[in-house]
Amino acid sequence: MKNSTNKKIFILLPDGIGLRNFAFTNFHKMGLEKEFDVTFWNTTPFNLDALGFRELKIENPRIHPLTEFYKNAQIQIELNQNIIKAKDTIYNSYRFPSTNKNIKSFIKNSVLKWIIFFNNSPKGLNRIKDKINLNERKTKLYFDSLEILKQEKPALVFCTNQRITTAVAPILAAQDLGIPTASFIFSWDNLPKGIKIIATDFYFVWSEHMKNELQYYYPDIKGSQIFITGTPQFEPHYEKQFLITKEVFFNQNGLDLSKKYICFSGDDVTTSPNDPHYLLDVAKAVEQLNAKGHNLGIIFRRCPVDFSNRYDFVSEKYNDIIVCIAPLWKNIGDTWSTVLPTKEDLILQMNTIYHSEFVVNLGSSMVFDFVAYNKPCCYINYNVANENFQNWSVEKIYNFIHFRSMPIKDCIIWLNSQDEIQNKLEQILEKDTSEIIKNAQKWFEVINQHPPEKASERIWNAIEEIIKQNQ
């Protein structure tokens, strides 16, 4: 590891999100240009060798039978400790309610509650983390990882996601061999949720804001261990060579060249169980605007891991207004974690944004994707009448901690009721929205290091610095 010529980097891919950020952007190409020897240590079903990348497959990675159990305890204890530390009960909103479907799940949940009760302290939390590490060091995955790392001798193992349990054993194996490790905090809302499952030597974060969050929730992490890099997920928006003409895009996707299109970006069913009704309300508003002389349509882009038929009744009723352009993700397995992104979908998303007037959704980071094209975002901000999804409301969503990073409320157009959608949409189409876009850009700069197109370069610079530190 002291060999200054060693520039072999292992990119540990425990899930499909890492593919989007690190395989389908310019990250890999830039690493090669900087003369790094890049190997994707791949646990996903996606074959990267088809893209000409060097990969080592981790086939059927299996965690210890108790790891998932202890991970759930860890998350609950972290949320409990965050409530105590911040004197803020919002952290309860990040919990998923447990279900006692049968006697087995009842016993499991009872034991979990008992373990949480007796470890509900900073010391107890460390005991749980130690249990996870102790058990993972007993797994075949750990010993297989040791052998691969001894053979390959990488200068660094970089994990693309901080929350996946199958990454624990490979990271522990690297650390036990004295190989530096780093992880990427992959989403803007992750740190308050208590889902930092792996502990690495270094961390790459989106922004100064995220660095402060990381040190607030994990005060044992020193500033010297954290690199502010931004995220590669926004980089494709600045690669204008992938944009196609309106005529080509409209013809490819069955759009009417005479119409202007609003993008409705769907959420998953947990985040927005009322999403079909919100799409229905927007379609009604568009219908009313068209009756007044506008010529509008809706491009509906569903959440890539939502394969439900819950939107069908809306798209069928308003098939003259709504055009569904499905994300080009591949469903390789039978769970959401095996639904994988593709390079083609990045290009489709770019062109969907480019050829839409603005976006409507409920609280997603699509606001930043659209502001990259100087286009505004509407956030749905009302509950649906006569709908009662247990433990859900728009108030709960917008109380989440990541929305506190919003520097000013007026960086979003807020749709506060069904009745005001028509007027708000018309105002966006007819009035100057530059101030809203300017405010959204300020929020983007809080959330993600700028310039956003330089994220991969900053990550490789950080990797180079870590290697130099460990020569």
Would you say the C-alpha torsion 44, 45, 51, 52 has a positive or negative sign?
positive
pLDDT of residue 400: 96
- Residue 225, pLDDT above cutoff 60: yes
Question: What is the rounded end-to-end Cα distance, in angstroms, of the chain?
Answer: 7
Phi and psi torsions of 181, nearest 5°: -130, 150
pLDDT at 101: 75
Amino acid (one-letter) located at 183: S
Is 90 exceeded by the pLDDT of residue 44?
Answer: no
Structure tokens of 213? Answer: 């969050």
d(CA 439, CA 308): 35
* Residue 383 C-alpha from the chain's centroid: 25
121-125, 223-227, 385-389 — which is least confidently predicted?
A: 385-389
Look up residue 54 and give its two tokens.
């060097």
**Which of 245-249, 366-370, 392-396 comes out lowest in average pLDDT?**
392-396
In the predicted structure, residue 72 carries a pLDDT above the cut 80 = yes
- Ordered by where they begin, the domains of the chain are 8-63+139-231+452-469 (3.40.50.2000), 67-134 (no CATH), 236-447 (3.40.50.2000)
Weakest-pLDDT range from 1-5, 150-154, 391-395:
1-5
Pull the structure tokens for residue 379: 């956030």
Between CA 457 and CA 232 the distance in angstroms is 9
Which pair of structure tokens corresponds to residue 39?
A: 């190997």
- What digits encode the pLDDT tens for the residues 429-463? 999 999 999 999 999 999 999 999 999 999 999 99
- Adjacency order of strands within the sheet including 202-205: 55-57, 37-42, 8-13, 156-159, 181-184, 202-205, 226-228
Average pLDDT value for residue range 126-151: 98
What was the pLDDT predicted at 336? 52
Tracing tokens 């807020």 back to the chain, one arrives at 414
Question: What is the model's pLDDT at position 64?
Answer: 97
**Average pLDDT rounded to a whole number, residues 42-70:** 92
User: What's the pLDDT at 432?
Assistant: 94
Position 2 pLDDT exceeds 60? no
Structure tokens belonging to residue 79? 């949320």
Tokens found for residue 28: 């890999």
Which of 442, 433, 375, 451 is closest to 406 using CA atoms? 442
Cis peptide before 451 (omega within 30 of 0): yes
CA distances from 140 to 4, 41, 70, 159 (A): 32, 16, 19, 19
Contact 419, 355 (CB under 8 A): no
Of 322, 205, 212, 305, the residue nearest 263 (C-alpha): 322
> What does the mean pLDDT of the chain come to?
94
CB 58 within 8 A of CB 43: yes
Q: What is the pLDDT of residue 229?
A: 98
pLDDT of residue 98: 76
DSSP label of 434? H
pLDDT band at 172 (very low <50, low <70, confident <90, very high): very high
Please state, for a pLDDT cut of 90, what percent of the chain lies above it.
Answer: 85
Please state, in angstroms and rounded to a whole number, the distance separating the CA atoms of residues 469 and 124: 33
Asked if residue 182 has pLDDT above 80, the reply is yes
Q: 80-101: per-residue pLDDT in tens?
A: 999 999 999 999 999 987 777 7
What pLDDT, on a 0 to 100 scale, did the predictor assign at position 387? 75
d(C-alpha 346, C-alpha 6), whole Å: 33
- Rounded to 5 degrees, φ, ψ at 376 are -85, 170
Q: Supply the pLDDT for residue 339.
A: 73
pLDDT reported for residue 188: 96
Spell 286-302 as b/e; 16+ CB within 10 A means b: beebeeeeeebbbbbbb
Residue 335 has what pLDDT? 55
d(CA 371, CA 363): 14
Note the pLDDT tens digit of each residue in 311-351.
Answer: 999 999 999 999 999 999 887 655 555 678 888 999 999 99
- Tell me the two tokens of residue 170: 């490979």
Give the list of residues 6+ apart from residue 434 with CB closer than 8 angstroms, or none. none
CA dist 85 and 403 (Å) reads 19
Residues β-bridged to residue 331: 339
Q: What is the pLDDT of residue 380?
A: 98
